Structure 1
């Protein structure tokens, strides 16, 4: 019976794989080729052009090209490595993805510090850059589809073929399981059908249309595009790199604290003792080490004679317990050191005022049975206090997280040794 099930599974998988491969080959994106002669530009925006000339996918150049285009339309200014918007708020004359770029530029501004450095466009720790980019790509794709320049890779016909073949393959596999039970057959059908769809439609995306292919070829034949379109076409990698809409390096950040923009360097405590641990827990650990280590040492000195005056075996045993006794006292001494450091840490917290530069989950609740990490209970918080261009992040418990985001000014009371924040005051 097992052999029959295996053979049926192999045949079903082979049949579905043939159908899925045929559909994927038939829906591959055609690569546009430039025309022999130079052509004029068209009505498409730089972001849509970026989609067309990159295999119907949006690259990071699209955001940079959109910002350059906004400066040409006098919505923003780029000068000497800085940028700022000339208009704020919702503008009905802008497309949704253009508005997103303008809003992002406005969000990083600090009026008291002047125009923001271009590097400040990068997303910080608490920013959901993945969600921003998904929406940005979706808006560009929606416009390209509406103009007839792009279409979903799998249309209704392809989806019906894919799902129909997946259902047939899963049904064939389920029939062979009827010999076990009806429940096994039903479960086998659901699992096989779901697995087939996940594998078969994993390459879902966009593909060309005749109009889109013609527009892409036309743009590839433009010999002297404007800066925005040159960026969209990937011809100005230096400019694209200078207009970053990617995730920031958490170790090097731009701060406007103090009324001027400056770069700060941040180090982060490692995920090990004693960083981020509460004072109560540190004292409990110290007490445990002192109690167990010291108790073991005292017990061994009382039970065993530490003077080796017997035969060789007894001497060896004595030396062994001498070592255990010494180890116990060493553990107790370490516990005493931790207790002293923890008491000093608790009794003399440091007060720091500054601007929050980075917020990121540090430690999470975990359970041996969990397949996904649990919610964070401790966060990294990097603060620029204006005293130096180097700082070390603190540990912020989740119960104090409310209102702590990049750009706000706060005052904290924190324990220096464990780098744990115990109180947060928000500046008005």
Structure 2
């Protein structure tokens, strides 16, 4: 019996790209990273399909030319590739084969580094690469839950650290913190401060979890604006002063601001302001979440109403796909993901302005896919107080948590008030 010939990297990459060119909508669903591609042309085409505003072949070709001046395929070759006798039926298996080859290459690289310099850090890197390779084939769900039983048995006799720490009362309400697999939605009307609250949440997480990596995707603001908000949270200097009159600050305040900005630069915080499509965002989350240890990664998305899914036209279907993919990634990589959402205008016309789950704009899938849904509201009696009202919580409790809000310094301080409900 003839021996089966193993496909090469280039053959697998060509098949994946051909299948995606034939069915471009699958780019939002395929669980692959551009880093896995060895061939520069195929890697660039994959990135172009992730980033292109629409899925036409000419748009993808133009995007590829912009992304890399090393891209050497002609448009005629691209047409031929799309016309190859490849279907998307085997796409998941092809992606798994590509991931496996990438994993083997990473093990070989880590092994070479360790042999050259047999230090503990290099040994840990080799072990991590080996474990990642082993996980490629074990990722297929066979329905068993042996490891979950073992984990539960272990937790019965050992104290567990259930999640990433943030504000004290919020952590208590979430039954210990932001846990892996959680998709948490924060909904609010414009101007209430949901971006400011998410900055406070991210900064507090970084402070309480020194090894934590945070990817913050901002679709409304620039990196500079976001940095100003983080620095304002850290220093108390109003973000408006950092934007419009930074040069007039005193030398002492300027040094405080510089020190704060440098601390955030050295931290594991990454801010993305040009990733607008679901494919772009998903690619970054998958790459970094797959590299992170337990409770050492969180993603923020501000906000889902501005994410585009080029392969889907209807907006409510786009939102459904966005929340579904974010939830799938939270589960697959055992990480928490926090998404921000707008609430419907109809809320402001009601006599009772308490947000309800039905006020989430554009899609009921937001409520369905989220483990936790929280609303940020103005307090009816105290102007500088905001309430985080948790209306859905699969693993914890419903609650109303008040925060003192300093609008100039963009600072939320949790108030020690017993007002659950």
Query: Is the shorter-chain TM-score for this pair beyond 0.5, marking a shared fold?
Result: no
Larger Rg, first or second structure (1 or 2): 1
TM-score (normalised: structure 2): 0.19
TM-score (normalised: structure 1): 0.19
